[in-house]
Structure 1
Amino acid sequence: MRRSERKREAPDLGILSGQTLFGLQKELFSRLSEMGHPRVRPRHGAVLAYLDVEGSRASDLAAQSGQHKQVIGTLVDELVALGYVERRPDPADRRAKLIVPTELGRDHMEKSDAVLAEMEAEHAKAVGEEAYAEFKRVFALVAQRQSRPR
């Protein structure tokens, strides 16, 4: 059996994870575009998915998303230009900056959360509530284990 056939018939964790991520992003960002956010791209999720409404430091966003601080800085610059976030002095440390969502950014975050909740409910309905809950529990354990330093 050829490798490509084997990968199609029994995809490994990398392939399954990629299919899940890219499929989720395609649907999420398509729906968000229809809801008034056509300029936000999947790469911006490294900021928007982890951003606190009260604001977050770029270093925290980098740690949570697994991206380098320079990448986060570039994404923040793009999101500032698009009107989704702004940089403000951190009240806890005036030398540091907080990345804070604007009204447009908060709208995107709320709609994103709602769309993702709908998508999850659809998956749970399709495979069964218990099976989906178990899938998420196990997937979270695998993701946690995979993200640990070795």
Structure 2
Amino acid sequence: MKRSMHKRQDPDLGVLAANLLFDLQRELFGRSAEAGFDDLRPRHGAVTAYLDEEGIRPGELAQLSGRHKQTVGAIIDELEDLGYLRRESDPADRRAKLIMPTERGRALMRYSDMVVAEIETRHAGVLGPERYEEFKASLRAITRA
């Protein structure tokens, strides 16, 4: 059997994880574009997924997203230019910066949280609520190991 056919019939963890991610991104960014956030790209999700109303430091964004600080810095620059966030001095340490969502950024946060919740509800409907929670718990265990 050809490798490609084997991967199609019995996909490995990498293929399954990529399919899940790409399907989620396609729906999330497609629906976001329809809702007026058409200037966003999937790479922006490394930052937008972790934005906090109270702000978050760039280093923490890099850690949470698993991306290099330079990559996160470039994404922050893009999102700042697009009007989704701004940099402010951290009141706890004036040398540090906080990444703060603008009103447009907060609107995106609310919208994307709603879309992801809808996607999760749909997935839970496929597996059933208990199996879906077990699935998520298993993914958390694997990704934390």
User: Normalising by structure 1, what TM-score?
Assistant: 0.94
Give the 5 Å matches for 1:70-85. 70-85=70-85
Aligned-residue Cα RMSD (Å) equals 0.9
Give the letter for the 1:85 counterpart: L
1:51 and 2:61 matched:
no
Equivalent position of 2:137 in the other structure: 137
How far 1:125 sits from its partner (Å)? 1.2
Unaligned runs of 5+ in 2: none
How far 1:20 sits from its partner (Å)? 0.5
Secondary structure of 1:122's aligned partner: helix
How far 1:126 sits from its partner (Å)? 2.1
Give the letter for the 2:57 counterpart: R
Whole-angstrom CA distance in 2 between matches of 1:125 and 1:6: 28
Equivalent position of 1:65 in the other structure: 65
Q: What percentage of aligned pairs have identical amino acids?
A: 54
Whole-angstrom CA distance in 2 between matches of 1:134 and 1:56: 30
Q: Which moved more, 1:98-107 or 1:30-39?
A: 30-39
User: Normalising by structure 2, what TM-score?
Assistant: 0.97
- List, as ranges, runs of 4+ consecutive aligned residues in structure 1 with deviation greater than 2 Å: none
Secondary structure of 1:95's aligned partner: strand
- Tell me the alpha carbon deviations over residues 20-78 of structure 1, each in whole angstroms, 9 at most, x when there is no partner: 00110000011111112111111111111111111111000001101011111100110
Secondary structure of 2:76's aligned partner: helix
Secondary structure of 1:53's aligned partner: coil
How far 1:127 sits from its partner (Å)? 2.2
Give the 5 Å matches for 1:1-150. 1-145=1-145
Unaligned runs of 5+ in 1: 146-150
Whole-angstrom CA distance in 1 between matches of 2:126 and 2:5: 27
